[in-house]
Structure 1
Amino acid sequence: MVSYATLLSEQTISEDMKWISLAPSYDFSLFPIGFINDEYYFQTNKDAPNSKVAKIKLDWSKARQVKKFTELQDRPQVIDVIPEREDALMQTFSGPYLTAGNNILIIYVEDGSNVLHLFSAETGKVIQQIIPHEKGTVTEVLVTRSRESFTLSLQTWDTPNKIFELKWDGYQFDTTTVSVSQIKGTNPDDFVIEELHATSKDGTLVPYFITYRKGTNRNGKSPAWLHAYGAFGEVDKFYYKPNYFDFLRSYDGYFIWGTPRGGGDQTGGWHEAAQGLEKQKTFDDIIAIAEELINQNFTSAGNIILEGVSVGGTAMGAVMNQATDLFGVVLMTRAPLDIFQLETRSSIGSGVAEEFGGVNTPEGFDAVMAWSPLQNLDPDKPYPAVLLIPAQNDERAPPSSNYKFIAQLQYDHPSYSKPMLLYVAQNDRRVRADLLAGSTQLCLIEQSLGISRRKS
């Protein structure tokens, strides 16, 4: 990220302002945290794939007026404040935040869950862990202008929202629970979550988290809903979604959060291991989880529901082609299913080439051709039930690839007994598609797997 700074207190906003250089080239990322005196604090990946906090001392004596910012090429010293952790990924889309006492609140990803720590900006040492007993996803942090207090919103897989207020007492933040959303007729204590591991094709141990109602009969006959994302270094788990929890409490089944390589669950290297020409490892990991669910007698082949959203749905399309017999239902919402179209004709094409392989190079073309969902549909395979829910106005995941995908499936299997369906969400590309997905998915699951809701 290219960055420059100016001092507003000693000059008028005009074209004659004087500037200094912070980062004159795109050598590393630089996400602002704030200023303490003449020191600028920021989060960066400079020599730190899992990110760290650093600072630059602002030397205003070097400020000068220029016609173009490119004339400023000074590279000030970057001083590490909070070093990179090898065992955890520092979130980039949420925080860090500058708080009272010149402290910095950081959200890490540890084993797929958000964990919050308060650090001293002066020493870089941990002062306290915030809400240490909560396991979930931070959805919002609001810091007051005084920085003496902030509110924190958190989702967990069984609770839609928890809100906490934190106030500075001069030494640390005291935490008060403001509200906890309750799901009528349920008790979170009735459910458990376990972390288990599957062995992928190359021997890598892949974590997954399985949730279920206490007392569920482990007889190999239960339905199992496997959700995963596995791309862009993102973490996609432990959040509340009505249809996920409804399935879990209503069908005596299992819900599984997968953590395949390509995601960010196990630090930055977890992402890079299944990026570009290595993308196949994401699919190998998901297949390994599905096979392990069967081996451990949680479920059986044909009773697994495979589901993903956005490029998580892309992964599910690839996995469905490669291990068709494992799954009973495959659900893909807003999923790009033609990677060639995604990279060359969508609004985000140039941004996804590095992630998926780059179809404009010979080696990238061959790698993507080997797994791109549309190009690998097989007329001789007995596919599971399929439901696609693209969004009409989604320029990032154009619905046209879904049209082609379902048309090809139906053409290849004209007399097939299992549903092969598509529903196009109108208007808003994201929200409406996700809302529609819930009840529609559960209806398809009931019909395809021959299951019904429990009575209590």
Structure 2
Amino acid sequence: MEGDTDGHFKYPVARRDDSVEYEYFGTKIKDPYRWLEDPDSDETKQFVLAQNEISLPYINSCSAKARIQERLTEMWDYPKYSTPGRAGPRYYHFMNTGVQNQSALYLQNSLNGPSQVFFDPNTLSPDGSSSYSLLHLILYVKVDSVIDSLYGPNLFSGTISLNTYNFSEDGEIFAYALSEAGSDWASIRFKKVSTGEEYPEVLKRVKFSGIEWTHDNVGVFYSKYPETDSKADGTETVSMDSNKVFYHRVGTEQSEDILVAEFPDEPKWLLGFNLSDCGRYLFITPVKECKENLLFFFDLNSLGPEGIVGKVPLTPIVTKFEADYSYVANTGSKVLFRTNKNAPIYQIIEVDLEHPEESNWRSFIPEHESDVLDSAATVNKDKLVLCYMRDVCSVLQLHDLNTGAKLQDFPLDVGQVLSLSARRKYDEMFFKFDSFLEPGTIYRVDFNSPAPWKADLYWKADVKGFNKDDFVAKQVFFTSKDGTRVPMFIVHRKDFVQDGTAPAILYGYGGFNVSLQPSFSLTFLSFIQSFHGVFAEANARGGGEYGEKWHNEGRLLKKQNCYDDFQVAAEYLINEKYTQAKKLTIEGYSNGGFTVGACLNQRPDLFGAGIAGVGVLDLMRFHKFTVGYLWTSDYGNPEENEDQFRNLLKLSPLHCIPSADSLPGNTEQYPALLLLTADHDDRVVPLHSLKFIAELQHVHGHNPKQTNPLIIRVETKAGHGGGKPTKKRIEEIADSLAFIMNALKLEYRGDEN
């Protein structure tokens, strides 16, 4: 740690350019660190190096860091399986032997037969270990030969990950997309299953795309962005335009791909697509933000003998952005969609494509009186599998696909159905159940057995050194500022003493209709074991835990409700003596990073520390970078709507940092803060975190009472989080726990019984 003997940090002096400003609705906004928006400038690179030269020594100075990482690695080292799926005559599943950087895809010729590695992303990256301690030395070195000569060619391992995949209808060709260094950009390739032969073509400029096979096994639909002069490696910040759907015939060059659908008058639309189970209908589902989509279709049976030769005429079903629609199944021209149209907690409707007008729609599975319809799938020709949420926990049901009638429930403990593998043409399904104290159990349902059908145990995880009977997980409800009843989960050791002396983490998200259900996490478990602490997860408004109303109550002009919920959650933990303010850490990622920043600014008296990972922190300019414009559905558009601008100006973490002499709650200093970001995060670009830490250090770095660290950790060869190698994940968790231990002056207790 670089600091004085009295504990004060010597923060880098970042250049402020107070002449940079912009104006929204007559209000001028200073932007003195605008230069940090350029990731390629020498000045930005030097700023990052200087920040890491403070943060890394501080984190590494933790006396128990090595032991925390060692214990975490030991616990992580257990086999992890995904739900099996079928493609043609074969079964597939992902498996990680323990601490492999990426899970490998395994093939089985029969369910009970031996498995063999079919596709292993670990072989695509050099097999070595990345050294985080060298991060500040190599963050922006661009010449690979220089890196190799200094540190060897294996510095970064497992940074190529499987982004998405799909097998042809006959199961004989494997289409897969790879991402590098955590970027959202991907490239699609093809592999012959029987021989392992790779096809020569590579489809590039792909981002946020699925892969859908035509049922003749000849080609796939996918979406891509046009070639531009800007780079596409995950370090760019330019906004994305002109997403289009193409058709690719396997074995041909990408230059021969056929443009199928585009909306040139709406360059910001992101085009979703999928094929019906029967392969006849192509559905196009444009979105312009992170909620609500349009719906069009094309009948592939209307094609001539030459097949797809150009753009297809799309028949509209939904032409206004007012609800969400997702395909479930169809029988002939009658199609089932899951939607929140006139149903805030979702229903399933039937649309006849021969008469697609809304006046002809009918409700097939009506909206439940209280449970949120979370997902729907088909299996065994005529059965519909519905997964509901009831007070944030999963409920799994089986219905008749022809009538909608409920056939049975599948009993579940308190937790969530993490994944479901089912297809209409197969007579079995698999699902994986997860909870705070259940590290993953896979069940199989065989529909050849007599009804009622039973979910039989297929596989159960076994975590070394973990006994769920040593812990307690419970759900509580607290009353928020406006009287709303909000759920929260709390996990601690069984021998926990509720006297207010334990450290705690309050975790959450609160946005974009995302639901935080009970889920096993070695992160919170390691915290509990290392410090005999408490983990709490608040289901704040803005999420999807109670449907669209819950979401709407925490977005746009009601976004403050989300932060009120978190602050009252913190007060609950303190008042009920689970912890005390100086030992409470608030933690969140992405949109949750916005939550952390807003809560620390508004109520620094409630928290001893905060961890904000890849957070959205500049709410005046977020919409100008990569896909940030999609987030205006939750945040609003500060440049186009004055009410939304005024609201965001009161919330934006970058613009609402309280001065040292006016901290709320009569606190003397800002809580300890660790920002986490990554150089290849092309979703929430690093400039959010860089500008925020520069401003925060400027405002509080010279406060003589500010001994709490205000630091940032910038990861290399990593992105927003998807596909992050296991080694990097373990290092990041260990660093975060080391930060908490140092900042809150905790005692390491991980070796106690």
Shared fold per TM-score greater than 0.5? yes
Distance in 2 between residues matched to 1:87 and 1:3, nearest whole Å: 31
Shift of 1:229: 0.5
Alignment of 1:293-312 (within 5 A): 293-312=573-592
Which residue is 2:301 aligned to? 8
Please give the root-mean-square deviation of Cα atoms over the aligned residues, in Å. Answer: 2.4
Matched, 1:409 2:692: no
Any conservation in 2 of the 1:222–1:300 contact (CA below 8 Å)? yes
**Residue number among 351, 355, 368 corresponding to 1:56 in the alignment:** 351
SS in 2 for 1:424: strand
SS in 1 for 2:387: strand
Matched letter for residue 371 of structure 1: L
Which residue is 1:453 aligned to? 749
**Residue number among 692, 709, 715 corresponding to 1:419 in the alignment:** 709
Matched letter for residue 349 of structure 2: A
**1:96-149: CA deviation from partner (whole Å, max 9, x where unpaired):** 11112512111222212222211122332222222x223333332222563310
**1:228-248: CA deviation from partner (whole Å, max 9, x where unpaired):** 110011112312222111112
Higher mean C-alpha displacement, 348-357 vs 361-370? 348-357
Distance in 2 between residues matched to 1:265 and 1:24, nearest whole Å: 26
Shift of 1:309: 1.0
Any conservation in 2 of the 1:425–1:436 contact (CA below 8 Å)? no
Any conservation in 1 of the 2:510–2:540 contact (CA below 8 Å)? yes
Any conservation in 2 of the 1:279–1:357 contact (CA below 8 Å)? no
Any conservation in 1 of the 2:380–2:423 contact (CA below 8 Å)? no
**Residue number among 35, 39, 42 corresponding to 2:337 in the alignment:** 42
Which residue is 1:388 aligned to? 675
Distance in 1 between residues matched to 2:621 and 2:678, nearest whole Å: 16
Distance in 1 between residues matched to 2:331 and 2:384, nearest whole Å: 11
Matched letter for residue 129 of structure 1: D
**Residue number among 171, 182, 189 corresponding to 2:462 in the alignment:** 182
Any conservation in 2 of the 1:56–1:76 contact (CA below 8 Å)? no
Distance in 2 between residues matched to 1:421 and 1:14, nearest whole Å: 55
Matched, 1:273 2:553: yes
Distance in 1 between residues matched to 2:304 and 2:452, nearest whole Å: 38
SS in 1 for 2:524: helix
Matched letter for residue 565 of structure 2: D
SS in 1 for 2:489: strand
Which residue is 1:69 aligned to? none
Which residue is 2:418 aligned to? 139
Any conservation in 2 of the 1:341–1:401 contact (CA below 8 Å)? no
Distance in 2 between residues matched to 1:176 and 1:14, nearest whole Å: 44
Which residue is 2:64 aligned to? none
Closer/same/farther in 2, CA of residues 18 and 240 from structure 1, 3 Å limit: closer
Distance in 2 between residues matched to 1:120 and 1:24, nearest whole Å: 27
- Identical residues among aligned pairs (%): 27
Any conservation in 1 of the 2:437–2:473 contact (CA below 8 Å)? no
Distance in 2 between residues matched to 1:24 and 1:293, nearest whole Å: 46
Higher mean C-alpha displacement, 157-166 vs 227-236? 157-166
Closer/same/farther in 2, CA of residues 332 and 237 from structure 1, 3 Å limit: farther
Distance in 2 between residues matched to 1:328 and 1:23, nearest whole Å: 52
Which residue is 1:82 aligned to? 365
**1:368-403: CA deviation from partner (whole Å, max 9, x where unpaired):** 111111111123131111111112121221111111
Matched letter for residue 447 of structure 1: N
Matched letter for residue 673 of structure 2: V
**Residue number among 407, 415, 428 corresponding to 2:718 in the alignment:** 428
Closer/same/farther in 2, CA of residues 182 and 146 from structure 1, 3 Å limit: same
Which residue is 1:348 aligned to? 627
Distance in 2 between residues matched to 1:14 and 1:6, nearest whole Å: 11
Shift of 1:7: 5.6
Matched letter for residue 405 of structure 1: F
Closer/same/farther in 2, CA of residues 339 and 435 from structure 1, 3 Å limit: farther
Higher mean C-alpha displacement, 306-315 vs 427-436? 427-436
Alignment of 1:9-158 (within 5 A): 12=305, 13-14=307-308, 21=315, 23-26=317-320, 28-59=323-354, 77-91=360-374, 95-100=375-380, 102-130=382-410, 132-144=411-423, 146-158=425-437
Matched letter for residue 551 of structure 2: H
SS in 2 for 1:55: strand
Matched letter for residue 432 of structure 2: S
Distance in 2 between residues matched to 1:14 and 1:347, nearest whole Å: 31
Matched letter for residue 392 of structure 1: D
SS in 1 for 2:678: coil
**1:67-115: CA deviation from partner (whole Å, max 9, x where unpaired):** xxxxxx8557212111112412222xxx411112512111222212222
Matched letter for residue 290 of structure 1: A
Matched letter for residue 327 of structure 2: P
Distance in 2 between residues matched to 1:219 and 1:75, nearest whole Å: 58
Distance in 1 between residues matched to 2:423 and 2:412, nearest whole Å: 24
SS in 2 for 1:219: coil
Matched letter for residue 355 of structure 1: D
Distance in 1 between residues matched to 2:471 and 2:454, nearest whole Å: 29
Any conservation in 2 of the 1:42–1:53 contact (CA below 8 Å)? yes
Distance in 2 between residues matched to 1:209 and 1:24, nearest whole Å: 38
Matched letter for residue 85 of structure 1: H
Higher mean C-alpha displacement, 21-30 vs 40-49? 21-30
Shift of 1:193: 1.7
In structure 2, runs of 5+ residues without a counterpart are 1-293, 664-668
Distance in 1 between residues matched to 2:353 and 2:360, nearest whole Å: 10
Shift of 1:327: 0.7
Which residue is 2:445 aligned to? 166
Which residue is 1:397 aligned to? 684
Matched letter for residue 363 of structure 1: D
Higher mean C-alpha displacement, 150-159 vs 301-310? 150-159
SS in 2 for 1:226: strand
**1:201-237: CA deviation from partner (whole Å, max 9, x where unpaired):** 2122222111111120111111111001100111123
Q: Which has the higher contact order (CA 8 A, sep 6+)?
A: 2
Matched letter for residue 687 of structure 2: S
Alignment of 1:218-257 (within 5 A): 218-257=498-537
Distance in 1 between residues matched to 2:625 and 2:420, nearest whole Å: 33
Closer/same/farther in 2, CA of residues 259 and 346 from structure 1, 3 Å limit: same
Distance in 2 between residues matched to 1:18 and 1:403, nearest whole Å: 45
Distance in 2 between residues matched to 1:325 and 1:333, nearest whole Å: 21
Distance in 2 between residues matched to 1:442 and 1:17, nearest whole Å: 53
Shift of 1:28: 4.1
Distance in 1 between residues matched to 2:613 and 2:313, nearest whole Å: 47
**Residue number among 733, 738, 742 corresponding to 1:438 in the alignment:** 733
Matched, 1:286 2:566: yes
